[in-house]
Amino acid sequence: MPQTTPWHEDDAFWAVWGPTMFSRQRWGGTPAEVDGIISLLNIQPGIGVLDLCCGQGRHSLELARRGLRVTGVDRTGKYLEQARERARAEGLGIEFVQEDMRVFSRPGTYDAVINMFTSFGYFEDPEEDRQVVMNVYRSLKTGGLFLMDIMGKEVLARIFLERNWSEEDGIIWLQERKVSQNWGWMWNRWIMLKGNERIEGEVSHRLYSATEIVSLLKKCGFTSVDVYGGLDGSPYDHTARRMVVVARK
């Protein structure tokens, strides 16, 4: 039988679910998220930042507005077209590159790399996750910082719901979840109800605990790794809302 395309390589998936994932509410929260990124990384205007898996450019655009030199990388061409259009409208000189994160590498180029909104762990082979981290490590200057924002395994275990739903702008979004591989993998079924239209999709990804992600980063060469419970720098403890990791080359 022919091999099916993984969900993360399916352009149709990103086209259909883009309005839901990049909702008006999520765009509205971007400035506060960038405030946290700048604070955690002690970013100064003029430094070079790579936004890896930049999507429609939420963070790339806001970082450029704050005077940073930004490269946004994503595999989805349609998202990059939208990001370029927004950048042109504001006169922002952002470089957007269409490339797979398993491939993109520019040795010794960036002062900081960010990877936001659980854009990591999509691949069934954990060696491919390691390749992504190695690409980031090589792309950073000595002393450069890598910030990852993902949903940590510990947080998911605390808040886990097998099913839930939400509604925004007239779109109802239903989600079903299953955990497998000894809490190593999460499968999600998404259903979108928009008027008389019903659309279904599947998303799956690897789950990392703080200990596991710290181990991976250090094995790839990072000298220090700090873990926080959010972009506000809060502790990664039983109250954490996300897992935000800052690693230094």
- Which residue from 134, 129, 149 is spatially nearest to 55, judged by alpha carbons? 149
Name the 3-class secondary structure at 85. Answer: helix
- What's the pLDDT score for residue 3? 52
C-alpha–C-alpha distance, residues 27 and 36, integer Å? 15
**Whole-number pLDDT of residue 1:** 39
Which residues on adjacent β-strands are paired with residue 147? 114, 246
pLDDT at position 2 is 47
What 3-state DSSP class applies to 47? Answer: coil
Neighbours of 157 (CB within 10 A): 12
Amino acid occupying residue 171? I
**Half-sphere exposure at residue 130, Cβ-oriented, CA atoms within 13 angstroms:** 10
**Average pLDDT for consecutive 10-residue bins of the chain (249 residues)?**
80 94 95 98 96 98 98 98 98 98 98 98 98 98 98 97 94 97 98 95 98 98 98 98 98
Question: Could you read off the pLDDT of 123-133 as tens digits, one per residue?
Answer: 999 999 999 99
Q: Name the percent of the chain in helix, strand, coil, to the closest 5.
A: 35, 30, 35
pTM over cut 0.75: yes
User: What's the CA gap between 108 and 210, in Å, rounded?
Assistant: 27
Domains within the chain, CATH numbers bracketed: 7-151+208-248 (3.40.50.150), 156-203 (2.20.25)
